[in-house]
Structure 1
Amino acid sequence: MHKEQVRRFYEKLWNAHDKDAMPSVLHENFTFRGSLGQEKRGRAGFAEYVDMVHKALGDYRCIIEELVSEGEKVFAKMTFTGIHQDELMGYSPTKHQVSWNGCALFSFNGERIADVWVLGDLKDLEEQLKANET
């Protein structure tokens, strides 16, 4: 069940950008900590973060490489990709595709995701943004 919720988190909330699915996936007191220095509490705060990422990275996709579940926790090995179309990490849009790896640790409260810690390879992402500058 928990692995399926993590799949829904990425497929519905991120890839489909379907904020209406949040109540069925995220606990009401959800907390998100992301690599880009963001800490968001609650569904509304997280929705703002998702919007910001989608604005900066067109055709943004989260690709699940592996899921490992133990008890009330799920670990996800990920690839993130998108077209750099708005300012990101201080870099002006390059219109180039970027891709980087990361991982996330999910904790649950009942059937819903209560907490996510994400760590992405921002050094690799920044190197791509620098290389694509004109």
Structure 2
Amino acid sequence: MVSRGTADLVRRFYADAWNRWDDAAVAELLAPDFVFRGSLGDETRGHDSWRGYRDRVRAAVPDFHNEIVELVAEHDRAAARLWYSGHAQGELLGVSGGGAPIGYSGAAFFTAAGGLLTSAWVLGDLDTLRSRLP
């Protein structure tokens, strides 16, 4: 059984909080103590900490884009297969991007409660990402 509520939260998380960098969407989508493990390996807790991670990614890749390739949701859980892309302008994984186009795959696993996302555990194909950096 597909939970449209959880699937919609995940879609909005990527469309609004990430791709549009919409800070107002953060409080609408994420629990106050939202736990996040990002594709680059960083872990955060809470809105401000998550925004800090997102903004570090944005500083390195100003046009960073998350594409949901596949999304499966049931009740309060969801899993997404993702494609990340953009142009690395700043430092990413300790390397100056120099404008290099990047693209790499990822997978994310979410939990939700009370109409908000409570956690996301994300893995990224960092070997492919590293291979695309100068």
Where on the TM-score scale, by shorter chain, does this alignment land: which range?
A: over 0.9
The aligned counterpart of 1:63 is 67
The aligned counterpart of 2:7 is 3
- Cα deviations by residue, 1:38-83 (Å, 9 ceiling, x for unpaired): 1100000000001000110121100011110122100011000011
- Give ranges in structure 1 of 5+ residues lacking alignment: none
Tell whether 2:124 aligns with 1:105.
no
The aligned counterpart of 2:88 is 84
The aligned counterpart of 2:126 is 122
TM-score (norm 2): 0.94
Cα distance in structure 2, aligned partners of 1:36 and 1:65: 19
- Give ranges in structure 2 of 5+ residues lacking alignment: none
Computed over aligned residues only, the root mean square deviation of the Cα atoms, in angstroms, reads 0.8
The aligned counterpart of 1:93 is 97
Cα distance in structure 1, aligned partners of 2:74 and 2:9: 14
Cα distance in structure 2, aligned partners of 1:32 and 1:99: 21
Question: Does the Cα contact within 8 Å between 2:60 and 2:90 map onto a contact in 1?
Answer: yes
Tell whether 2:56 aligns with 1:52.
yes
Cα distance in structure 2, aligned partners of 1:106 and 1:90: 28
For residue 119 of structure 2, what is the amino acid of its counterpart?
Answer: D
- Structure 2 counterparts to residues 6-25 of structure 1, below 5 A: 6-25=10-29
Cα distance in structure 2, aligned partners of 1:38 and 1:22: 18
The aligned counterpart of 2:40 is 36
Which 4+ stretches in 1 moved above 2 angstroms? none
Question: What SS class does the counterpart of residue 102 from structure 2 fall into?
Answer: strand
For residue 6 of structure 1, what is the amino acid of its counterpart?
Answer: V
Tell whether 2:76 aligns with 1:72.
yes
TM-score (norm 1): 0.94
Q: How many matched pairs?
A: 130
For residue 119 of structure 1, what is the amino acid of its counterpart?
Answer: L
For residue 104 of structure 1, what is the amino acid of its counterpart?
Answer: A
